[in-house]
Structure 1
Amino acid sequence: MIKLTDMRRQNTALGTFLAVAFLLTPSIYSQSQETTGPQSLETDPVVLAVQGSGPQSPSELLETTEILLNLGRFDLAQQYLDQLLQAKIDDEGLAALQRQFGSVLFYRFLREPQLGPSGIQFAKAVLQAAYRLSHDSARIERLISQLEDPAAEVRQTVITDLQEADTAAIGPLLKVLVDPARTSIHRLAREILRALGKPATDPLLAVLDSRDPAFHRVVIELLGDLGASHAAESLIQLAIDSEVEPSWQQTARQSLRKIVGVIPRHREATLFLRRRIDHYWSGQSPTAPDHENLVRVWHWDRQQQQLTSSKVTTEIAAVSQAARLAQDLQALNPGDLEARQLHLMTHLAASKLVGGLDQPLSKQVIANARSFGLNMSERVLTEALQTNRPAAATAALEVLGQMGQADLLRSASAYPHPVVLALDDRDRNVRFAAAGAIMNIDSQNAYPGSSSLIKTLAHFVGATGGRQALVGFPNAKRAGDLAGSLQLLGFETEVAHTGNNLFQLASRLPDCEIILLSDALARPGASELIQTLRRDARTAEIPVGLMARWDNLAYVQAIAAGDALTLAISELHTPSGAQACVANLLSLRNSPVVSPQKRTQHAQMALSWLTKIVERTADYSFYDVLRWQDSIENAIYKPELSAQASRLLGLLGSPSNQRALVSFASQPTWPLALRQAAADGLRVAVNRRGILLTKREILQQYDRYNDSRELDHSTQAVLGSILDTLETPRQTRLLKKV
């Protein structure tokens, strides 16, 4: 960055140049006329003076650009920017321009639309080159080696360059401080780190959190020197835990005194840490988010001994900090059961959020959870379900699915195990994790709540892979108009004219993202219907837009005030109004909408689990899959699920299942492979349960085959295979008679 004195020097030089330009204008103007001829239309003497100076080097071209920009001649400034772009200046040259002119000029280029794309392109090139060069690890190492230069001017320049490298210099400088062969520059390295100020605190805390013994004492000492108040919470356990290495503890106590002035007693430290954990556990970010509502977090790679950073949501940053402090709390209170539970719950939640809610936990996280014991994971799950912590609940279910034995779900009482209770959780990811845990535990005996598993899997199977919405309106025309507006926004929309009908639709549509509901809907009315939706796990998280008639807005607002996922709105009459309403409704959700791709994956997994249950009926006789056959039959018409659904319907083999398979396989509009899968499913069904079609349905199939003369050979083959399946049992009976 340019210093104030340099800026004054530049401004003085600019003023001198303009003064001289006015004095010399006649001669320059005459020269310009000689060189440009009568074609030149420029008459401004200052501009002519600037052009007549003949800039050649990148520095001269950029200075000329700045002068023309100050004169308001954006057209000419853009020409010089184009020359700079065409010069293809390397990173060293671009960074040198940034050092000479400062960053302000290039940010001005970014904000000035009249410079066109040239201004943006050149400014980005300069700023990015300066950043790359200042953060280049090889360059930083070269600069650090020059700290030993005997010349004071060289050392001062190096110190300035390292400070400009900002957080990129922290890791290399830390390595200097722990290197006994470089003690001659320890003092300078420490001064540079201190000069970086409080922005260096979070990277240093990341090194501290890594528990890297080589850097522990140095980092603790630097944190005390920097004096950032939020570093104190990370030093408390080190300062008062009797199990901490004595030299580290002494340094931590000194640093803590520098920051807060005192060393707390054990009880005070415990209460303080609990308050800070509650603060972060409630969602308060440890640092202020940026304009994208993201927080930069730092990581120390112990193997590579280097710092990296990434941007995460405020939730991830908050829960991760809660987990770190919960670990310190348990270290201070190793025999406290609640501290152990809090440590495991925050650790599992942070691991799941960082790794992704739909991604499996790492082996290291699973092993760490195992060390707490099965009972502690059960306690965590119970607490997470009761306090609505979906990330912790999902992770605990995954752990229990791997740790639990077959008898885990059995109970002496009729009350279901927490894993089974999770099947009725409001959060979709929790319900899916619960189903996965139960299938991994693989209980082959009935257990309390076992019917909920099949209901949950059937609900997942209903996924379409698209976006769905529901409209509840007693007037069919208005309902159709609203559905049309939602369809324009990409929603497949179902319509209901009574409250009961709407709930039935909502409970069997796993892709439903929003509901538009009229306050005039009856049987039941809006207030009772919303309560019913919230009580059912399948519909509890669907936002509702409750539309009020012109004279009923106060009543609708009172209903919405009692439900966080209900929004009181006036009746919608325009597509733009519907679009704004949808955006507002989706913003009410406690968790992001599960993507269509992930919903399809859930449906595919649910079908594979149901297939396993039906294939091993003797082991899972207590499950009633046939009760939910409608959902499976509907799945056959979803291309991503069709082949799996055909296989499952064949294993079930009921009359309704056989009709669905025959009907689908006989429709030539579906892909050949899917029709063949349905025909194969029919063959399985007939082999397992015999022909359960009526005589009329069988005769209809012969008619279909006879009518297929004009169709392609593949379709004829599929229809022929269906008849072969239907005729095989009859031929078998005739052979037995002979």
Structure 2
Amino acid sequence: MMIRGIGWIVPAMAFTVLLASNSSAPAQEAAGEAPAAVQKNSATLLEDNPLLTEPRTPQTLMDAVVLMTDLARPGLARLYLEKLLEANPDDETILKLRDKHGPALFLRLSNDKRLQPESITLLERVNAAFRKGATDPVRVDKLIGQLSKTAAEREVAILQLRNAGSYGAARLVAALSISRDQAQRNLLLYTLTRLNREVVPSLLGAVEGPDSDLRATVIEALGWLGDPQAKTALWHPAFEESQPPAVQLAARQALARLVFGDVKRVPDVSQFGAATELAKSARRNLRGDEVWTLNDDGQVELWNWDAAAGTIAMTPVTVDVASIRMALRQARQAFELAPNRTELHALYWTALMASELRESERGADISTQPGSAFHVGLQLGPEVMQAALVEAMSLGEPLVAASALHALAQTGSVRLLKATEGRPAPVVAALNYPDSRVQFAAASTILTWDPTTPFRGVSRVIEVLARALNDTGKAHGVAIDANEQRATSMSSALIEMGFEPEIAQTGQDGFKIAAERGDVALLLIEANVARWELSQTIANLRSDARTAYIPIVIYGDDKLRTRIERLAESYPRVRFVLSISDSTVMAKQVAAFLRTANADAITQPQRVATRKAALDWLTQLADRKQASLFDLKPAENALLTVTNDEELGDSAAYTLGGIATPSAQAKLFEIGTSAARPVPIRQRALAQLAAHLLRHGVLLTELQTDEFRKAARQETEPQLQIAFAATLGSLQPDLARASGVLKAVPPRGAKK
């Protein structure tokens, strides 16, 4: 009887006796626990050895390891593993062992605790040798040269090329790109079809190559390999009009094999739905939903055509980079297959802008230079850019959506505000998109169009501006916790992360702070929050456009983890962390989450610029005839606060003049009569107060008007005396008060 994989013969009867003598081995050995035999010395182990001849070479030692593992003799298996490692075989020998037994065996041995740590060491040696050998072009080219030798040598070479994976495929493609001998090309094609499916991603890189013959050959190989993942990449070469006939035919034949399993069904391969399938795949990549195979470093090995090398080359990239590159390619291919579809124009532009934004630094301004994605968008027209806005919002690309809105501000018009099929116009819908930058861009776009008639959602414009005005210019974090000591610790963690801290005791109070302020960039919520309880607090925060985008961290005891993580899975940008009293450790936990949840957050300079722009719009609206269309009252509280700002206070006071409320008039009165304010600001406030009084009547209390007259009498600054005088006249004094003013005038024209 021949034992599998071993070159020594054990008589059948002896083998039967051997099995019988070992049938009473302890159950713990079969169960994976370290058997007592493992603890014996080598001499004792060898006494029970079923082998008639001791293995000496690395090949026979590895065979013995496999046999002893199959016979449930881990002690002997580990002994031979030790001897194999002591022999220190070279990389070539290691690779021969891998070729013979396959990579899965070494992984299985490494997971057997009874064979560790030797089995793990062996796996590392095998992987290191494989990586070195697979990427050695000299070794791989030597294998390719052996393809032309005897049938036996060819099979051995194909086996080793298969084990070389994508690197072997790359050298085969290189050989194809320079070969002009048809017999050799056929042999290389045959070899490609014999490789494992793991090479398909690398071969897809050659589909984008410049040589049509090479592309057709590689595409034919992809059809024979039969991996469905190649299907999406073949629609474009099969049906795009500019593709060479040989490439089109090869791609259609490959699709016939992949879709129908029969090359004879080429006539059944239709372009119908091809562009749609490519578009779906592009959107999946833009959303980050594509599943990628990662290497040991957690990166994607992306293969593309390298003109300098004359073959495909691998570049390790992050998942995000791989996704955006693939999305860009697929969106372009979908557009080229169906150039008459507006939504595919929009998808391609969306991918272009997303790619450009990812290459720019965080906080950088959108490039508007000729050739930039924005410059291209301006030329596409408002219909395409409106579709791009919809695309970007549905894909969760806020910066792309904001860019589309900026383009629409220059190319669109008020006709795009019209609701269709009972749904608000895309620009109006953007006012409620869960990102403050998109909301503000939408409000700015609408105001740029200068509408004169009401439209659905008109009230949101001022609400968005008011919230932007409530942004102090620095990111705030809110800790929601009823426990004062714990809330203080969370406040310290917020400070360590660079946030201005705010504390709320209830979910309702925390929601109110986050909804009113425009600068809240993080919410820390204690798991046992009350009024509202946790699930209601999270639901309300995520359903309100003002707070839907703010990252949320829930902290609590580990026993709550399962329940809260299940809740967090239902919402975007929500994470559970352990409650830790050490603010520094807590800050590190939260910071790790923010790196992914808030990677493209608005920067401080952008906050400052947005706040100023919001005030500029409100100031313009206070001057416009459309003040009745855009009611400024929702911005009143924000304006009242900003009047205390040294830089923006003057403009805020001016804008208050357009709001017909007693509080707005009272604030202008307060600024105008405050001796602590600079003279120019007081002058502006008094002028606005006069205009407010004329436009909306006297809304001050009697006490306030008396205080105003008193302040006017006591004022000594000539410029302010004039401003006070104009405002006093706006109070519409009766004849008695007017008589008093005239009587106080010294007689003029009298002789001295």
Distance 1:351 1:57 in 2: 57
Match of 1:341 in 2: 346
- Contact 1:515–1:542 (CA<8 Å) still a contact in 2? no
Match of 2:505 in 1: 496
Structure 2 CA distance for partners of 1:379 and 1:512, relative to 1, 3 Å: same
**1:503 is matched by which residue type in structure 2?**
K
Distance 1:544 1:396 in 2: 23
Match of 1:29 in 2: none
Task: Map 1:117-516 onto structure 2 (within 5 A).
Answer: 117-148=117-148, 150-196=149-195, 198-209=197-208, 213=212, 215-229=214-228, 231-259=230-258, 260=260, 261-262=264-265, 269-271=271-273, 273-274=275-276, 277-278=279-280, 281=283, 298-304=302-308, 305-308=311-314, 324=329, 326-345=331-350, 348=353, 366=373, 369-370=376-377, 373-375=380-382, 378-384=385-391, 388-391=394-397, 393-398=398-403, 401=406, 422=430, 424-426=432-434, 428=435, 431-432=436-437, 449=461, 452=464, 455-456=467-468, 458-459=470-471, 461-464=473-476, 469-470=479-480, 494-497=503-506, 499=508, 502-505=511-514, 507-508=516-517, 510-513=520-523, 515=525
Distance 2:562 2:381 in 1: 48
1:520-550 deviation digits (Å, cap 9, x = unpaired): 837xx9999777645532322569999xxxx
Please state whether the residue corresponding to 2:191 is helix, strand or coil: helix
Bigger Rg, which one = 2
**1:605 is matched by which residue type in structure 2?**
P
Q: CA deviation at 1:72?
A: 6.5
- Contact 1:21–1:50 (CA<8 Å) still a contact in 2? no
Q: CA deviation at 1:82?
A: 5.3
Identity across matched positions, percent: 19
Q: CA deviation at 1:165?
A: 1.7
1:542-582 deviation digits (Å, cap 9, x = unpaired): 69999xxxxxxxxxxxxxxxxxxxxxxxxx9x823333344
Structure 2 CA distance for partners of 1:91 and 1:166, relative to 1, 3 Å: same
Q: CA deviation at 1:86?
A: 6.0
Confirm whether residue 537 of structure 1 aligns to residue 519 of structure 2. Answer: no
- Contact 1:94–1:129 (CA<8 Å) still a contact in 2? yes
Q: CA deviation at 1:352?
A: 6.4
Q: CA deviation at 1:504?
A: 2.9
Match of 2:746 in 1: none
Q: Which moved more, 1:342-351 or 1:174-183?
A: 342-351
Q: CA deviation at 1:488?
A: 13
Task: Map 1:94-133 onto structure 2 (within 5 A).
Answer: 94-133=94-133
Gaps of 5+ in 2: 19-39, 419-423, 453-457, 576-592, 623-631, 653-676, 683-752
Structure 2 CA distance for partners of 1:131 and 1:604, relative to 1, 3 Å: same
Distance 1:439 1:287 in 2: 35
Structure 2 CA distance for partners of 1:632 and 1:19, relative to 1, 3 Å: farther
Q: CA deviation at 1:252?
A: 3.6
1:137-176 deviation digits (Å, cap 9, x = unpaired): 332123223334x555433332222122233222221232
Match of 1:586 in 2: 568
Distance 2:640 2:56 in 1: 79
Gaps of 5+ in 1: 23-39, 547-571, 634-647, 657-684, 691-738
1:299-329 deviation digits (Å, cap 9, x = unpaired): 3134343142768769975x87776555444
Structure 2 CA distance for partners of 1:404 and 1:335, relative to 1, 3 Å: closer
Q: CA deviation at 1:192?
A: 0.6
Q: Which moved more, 1:307-316 or 1:442-451?
A: 442-451
TM-score (norm 1): 0.59
Match of 2:531 in 1: 521
Distance 2:444 2:9 in 1: 78
Q: CA deviation at 1:83?
A: 6.0
Match of 2:705 in 1: none
Structure 2 CA distance for partners of 1:434 and 1:409, relative to 1, 3 Å: farther
Q: CA deviation at 1:194?
A: 1.1
Distance 1:226 1:360 in 2: 46
Q: CA deviation at 1:188?
A: 1.5
Confirm whether residue 575 of structure 1 aligns to residue 560 of structure 2. Answer: no
- Contact 1:85–1:122 (CA<8 Å) still a contact in 2? yes
Report how many residues are paired.
578
1:459-512 deviation digits (Å, cap 9, x = unpaired): 584535x7x5535xxxx6xx6699699999999894434736643356547344
- Contact 2:346–2:387 (CA<8 Å) still a contact in 1? yes
Distance 2:117 2:469 in 1: 54
- Contact 2:469–2:612 (CA<8 Å) still a contact in 1? no
Structure 2 CA distance for partners of 1:79 and 1:218, relative to 1, 3 Å: closer
Q: CA deviation at 1:189?
A: 0.6
Distance 1:607 1:285 in 2: 28
Please state whether the residue corresponding to 2:304 is helix, strand or coil: strand
Distance 1:154 1:453 in 2: 76
**1:586 is matched by which residue type in structure 2?**
A
Q: CA deviation at 1:190?
A: 0.8
Match of 1:8 in 2: 4
Q: Which moved more, 1:51-60 or 1:483-492?
A: 483-492
**1:588 is matched by which residue type in structure 2?**
S
- Contact 1:217–1:248 (CA<8 Å) still a contact in 2? yes
Distance 1:19 1:592 in 2: 62
Distance 2:206 2:574 in 1: 32
Distance 2:605 2:78 in 1: 59
Q: Which moved more, 1:244-253 or 1:136-145?
A: 244-253
**1:269 is matched by which residue type in structure 2?**
Q
**2:166 is matched by which residue type in structure 1?**
T
Distance 1:240 1:99 in 2: 41
Structure 2 CA distance for partners of 1:311 and 1:90, relative to 1, 3 Å: same
Q: CA deviation at 1:191?
A: 0.6
- Contact 1:110–1:119 (CA<8 Å) still a contact in 2? yes
Q: CA deviation at 1:128?
A: 3.2
Distance 2:293 2:429 in 1: 39
Structure 2 CA distance for partners of 1:377 and 1:580, relative to 1, 3 Å: same
- Contact 1:515–1:545 (CA<8 Å) still a contact in 2? yes
Distance 1:210 1:434 in 2: 43
Distance 1:408 1:458 in 2: 30
- Contact 2:6–2:60 (CA<8 Å) still a contact in 1? no
